[in-house]
Amino acid sequence: MTTTPPRGAGQRHRAAPPPGAASHDAPADAPRPSTAPPAAHSVPPATRIDALEAALGPLDDPHNPLGAAALLAADAAGEPVPGAERVLDVFGLNAEFVPAELGGRLSRMDVLGRLLRPLFRRDASVGFGYGLSCFFAAVPVWTAGSDAQRRFVARLLLGGDRVAVARHEVAHGNDFVRDELTARPAAGGGLSVSGSKTAIANAARSRGLVVFVRTSDAREGGRSHSVLLLDRAGHPADRITDTGRHSTTGMRGAEFGALTFTDCTVPDSAVLGRVGDGYELSLRSSLLIRGLIPSIVLAGVDTALRTVAAFATRRRADGRSSLDVRHVRDVLTGAFLDLLLIDCLALVATRSLHLLPRQMSVYAASAAYLAPRLAAETMDEMAAVLGEESFAVSGTYGMFQKQLRDLPVTSLGHAGSAGRQVSILPQLPYLARTAWFTEAEAPAALFRPHEDLPPLDLPRLSLLTDGDPLAATLVACTAWLESADLTVPGREDWPLLRALARSFTGELRELARAFGEIDPGDRAALASPSNFALADRYTLVLAAAACLGTWRAQTAAPSDAFLADPAWASAVLHRLARRLGLPVPDLPPDRTGGAGPFAACEQRVLAEALDRLHGRRSYDLYGSALA
């Protein structure tokens, strides 16, 4: 890790710029496009997503200033790609992070996740540095801020400015340096903030600062920290100073800076919520943030898979290709299946915020825990297919190495996978006793990505679940498949899926037995390695439930022939079953003597993956057109 002066260091932050003010990466006299958004519902989500994709242009066009060649050159230089922020200004991306009632376009978290994908398919530095870090900073304000605080942050973002967050101890990037800020009562009233914090995204060029500070020396009770919202323009330059930019292995173009606070006095009105709410507010903010992580990692792996698929399908002089090798076909198929699985997790994690506010905490944590693990493993498998080309930093295959470097930074967040698993584990004994096999399944709308949602109600979001309707969906889907008449035309491929669903329901029953024997208050038992392993198995069972629910929703109202086909769901569950060591059905080949049912499913999935490569469509549940 190295430290260099931050771009913009020492510059004072002026009053909140109105739409049309100069951008950070343009000359001061250059007009900045207005970021004032249209009404929240005036432009359909799919239209906005397609418009952003078109604005960014084709990734493989060498003449595109935002194409792969330009992105790789900027990454090598550790700089943002020139012109990217101006494109996003014109689009008004910051409006997507502001709730509709405050003048922005944020009304559905699943739509926000999809809007991030065109950015993260190209460059995590742009996606995180331009706006997502601002959303992370704004979430505590949307969650606990006063009306005045919420309006202030909304004005900043809609006016094209930035908001940065300085978290306590485990900052984004998982604690580059262990340091902390403290706030003590000031002599004339308010709080006096002192200390330093590193690894703050956009530290040097953000006017708004959301700062986690220690306000008590107490080590017990969880009331030691508070959260402040600061307007940097209202403080003398010597009270908040920029002390250096930190370079990173991944997301090289993003600015991670450091700030030092020196007896910086802030009014009591700067506190978000109440003094001592810091820990709870951090947890509540994570409920929204975790649901976006699957979309972020999915987008990067999408580009990696596209890169590897293009490599595998290129014809050599003898007319053959890497696709002729069984292992290569298996890797491509497995990677596509993992992306479909990750998107099912993204769907559940984001839509449950609206539909299941009292149960969603375990789903958001499970999705944020499992998606990065699956992404990392499939990236390793694809790297073996690329061979030495996986190390290329430029040229046709350079984007793979870039996405490989960026993935650990984009997926860990401020809590990391261990923190997410810790938040899941204590809830499982309660669910084993009160929920599994006893409650109703999740609403069908949870699995219908194109269906509208009720408004997001942040006060209703619960840190601890009071039920598990997604697990109930697994049980209900299994019962539905067990009762299905398989002689009906179109259901010839259902026996494999039925047998796999039965295996996962059996695994849930085993988990219910194991966790039902644990006293929920026995922390020593919960912290045992064996129970952490059981929690890991639970997340995989939830993933199977999410896939089954998504597939069944498509069979009821087909909007996509591939998603309505049981082939992908069967192949995903088969892959998960092997990971868990569950009994894998060994069904005989069909009457014609062709491939067995699982091999036939994989063939259909691979055909879809290659069709999307040549048809320039995304590797997720939506199959969106790419520029």
The pLDDT of residue 130: 85
User: Taking Cα atoms as reference points, which of 101, 106, 96 lies closest to residue 127?
Assistant: 96
The pLDDT of residue 29: 32
Distance between CA atoms of residues 198 and 201, nearest Å:
9
- Mean of the pLDDT values across residues 110-126? 95
The pLDDT of residue 410: 78
Scan for tokens 């209703």, then name that residue. 460
Task: Give the rounded percent of residues in the chain with a pLDDT score beyond 70.
Answer: 88
Cα atoms in the 13 Å half-sphere on the side-chain side of 220: 0
Q: What is the pLDDT of residues 176-226, one digit of tens each?
A: 334 589 999 998 889 999 998 888 888 888 899 999 999 988 766 578 899
- Mean of the pLDDT values across residues 46-65? 95
What is the rounded average pLDDT for all residues in the chain?
A: 87
Cβ neighbours of residue 21 under 8 Å, at least 6 residues apart? Answer: 32, 159, 160
Element (H, E) at 500: helix 494-516
CB 442 within 8 A of CB 356: yes
Q: 10 Å Cβ neighbour count for 383?
A: 18
The pLDDT of residue 8: 38
Distance between CA atoms of residues 426 and 594, nearest Å:
48
CB 446 within 8 A of CB 355: yes
Q: Does pLDDT of 11 surpass 50?
A: no
The pLDDT of residue 179: 59
Q: Is 8 helix (H, G, I), strand (E, B) or coil?
A: coil
Strand pairing category for 3-4 and 240-246? antiparallel
Strand pairing category for 225-231 and 181-185? unpaired
CB 211 within 8 A of CB 191: no
Lowest mean pLDDT among 77-86, 98-107, 354-363: 77-86
The pLDDT of residue 19: 29
Quick one: 154 exposed, middle or buried, by C-beta within 10 A (0-12, 13-18, 19+)? buried
Scan for tokens 């173009």, then name that residue. 253
The pLDDT of residue 13: 42
Most confidently predicted of 177-186, 199-208, 255-264, 598-607: 598-607
The pLDDT of residue 220: 60
Q: 596 or 241: whose pLDDT is higher? A: 241
**Helix and strand tally (H, E) in the chain?**
20, 8
Q: Considering Cα of 391, then 392, then 396, then 398, what sign does the dihedral take?
A: positive
Q: 408 or 137: whose pLDDT is higher? A: 137
Scan for tokens 């979001």, then name that residue. 461
The pLDDT of residue 48: 96
CB 230 within 8 A of CB 177: no
Cβ neighbours of residue 255 under 8 Å, at least 6 residues apart? Answer: 6, 7, 129, 201, 202, 203, 204, 205, 245
Distance between CA atoms of residues 393 and 419, nearest Å:
33
Cβ neighbours of residue 233 under 8 Å, at least 6 residues apart? Answer: 12, 13, 14, 15, 16, 207
Lowest mean pLDDT among 240-249, 297-306, 406-415, 463-472: 406-415
Q: What is the pLDDT of residues 444-488, one digit of tens each?
A: 999 999 999 999 999 999 999 999 999 999 999 999 999 988 888
Residues of the chain with CATH 1.20.140.10: 281-615
Partners of 106 in the beta sheet?
99
Strand pairing category for 208-214 and 191-201? unpaired
The pLDDT of residue 332: 98
The pLDDT of residue 583: 85
CB 72 within 8 A of CB 81: no
Q: Considering Cα of 323, then 343, then 53, then 292, what sign does the dihedral take?
A: negative
Tokens of 109: 């978290």
Residues of the chain with CATH 2.40.110.10: 181-278
CB 480 within 8 A of CB 486: no
The pLDDT of residue 544: 98
Query: For residue 563, how far is the Cα from the chain centroid?
Result: 22
Distance between CA atoms of residues 526 and 426, nearest Å:
7
Distance between CA atoms of residues 73 and 58, nearest Å:
16
Cβ neighbours of residue 38 under 8 Å, at least 6 residues apart? Answer: 105
The pLDDT of residue 174: 40
User: Taking Cα atoms as reference points, which of 304, 294, 287 lies closest to residue 117?
Assistant: 294
Distance between CA atoms of residues 365 and 142, nearest Å:
20
The pLDDT of residue 26: 35
Tokens of 341: 């699985």
Residues 281-615, CATH architecture: Up-down Bundle (1.20)
Q: Does pLDDT of 6 surpass 80?
A: no
Task: Give the rounded percent of residues in the chain with a pLDDT score beyond 90.
Answer: 68
Residues 181-278, CATH architecture: Beta Barrel (2.40)
Q: What is the pLDDT of residues 526-571, one digit of tens each?
A: 888 999 999 999 999 999 999 999 999 999 878 899 999 999 999 9
Q: What is the pLDDT of residues 313-357, one digit of tens each?
A: 999 888 899 999 999 999 999 999 999 999 999 999 999 999 999
The pLDDT of residue 214: 92
